[in-house]
Structure 1
């Protein structure tokens, strides 16, 4: 199982990658740095990755699922309600590719401010 470490401001999350084209592209791009953006209870950040939308892409995600926003070439991590959520769902801005699963508690991301430094690197 391939794993990444994402340092997002003061939060460190480890992630297990799924077997998808998006996960492969992110793996191949590592290591890279970025800056955090926030949107409701979501942190997203640009990457050097460009991929196509996968057939399983969706807007509503579960806590801990790692998504890739195609239109923004960005990793998106939802951990609660966004401005377009209905009820308590985690609804992202567009259909996203699910490429991994965070091993830690994504609710820690609540402390991340826009502009925080991000580093994504391979483990092992």
Structure 2
């Protein structure tokens, strides 16, 4: 697992990327800065990574899931229900590639504002 940090609005959360092909592409592009978009209890932002939908892509995920949205070339961080959730679990708008998970509590993400700057970096690149 490749440890990364997610920094936004003074909060820093530890996360891990898995060993999928999409996660490797994201790791190679780090550090990445973007502008937060909020959709229910999901943060997503454009990243300079292009990957096809994985064979194991899915819509329903767990709280804390990091995913790549092929339809929008965006990284998604799920921390609760989204507008298309049918139960308590987060649900993506369309299938996403699972690329990792947030290790820390995702509760601080619930106060993040749209249009904030978010930064994803390798744990070793944190300054």
TM superposition outliers: structure 1 runs of 4+ over 4 Å = none
Task: Specify the alignment match of 1:74 in structure 2.
Answer: 74
5-14 or 84-93, larger mean C-alpha shift:
5-14
Task: Specify the alignment match of 1:49 in structure 2.
Answer: 49
Q: Secondary structure, in 3 states, of the residue corresponding to 1:24?
A: helix
Cα RMSD (Å):
1.0
Per the normalisation by structure 1, the TM-score is 0.95
Q: Give distance in 2, aligned partners of 1:8 and 1:61.
A: 22
What is the count of residue pairs matched by the alignment?
124
Question: CA shift at 1:52, angstroms?
Answer: 0.9
Per the normalisation by structure 2, the TM-score is 0.92
CA contact (8 A) 1:10 1:112 kept: no
7-16 or 18-27, larger mean C-alpha shift:
7-16
Task: Specify the alignment match of 1:113 in structure 2.
Answer: 113
Question: Matches of residues 1-124 of structure 1 in structure 2 within 5 Å?
Answer: 1-124=1-124
Q: Give distance in 2, aligned partners of 1:52 and 1:9.
A: 31
In structure 2, stretches of 5+ residues that fail to align are none
In structure 1, stretches of 5+ residues that fail to align are none
CA contact (8 A) 2:63 2:89 kept: no
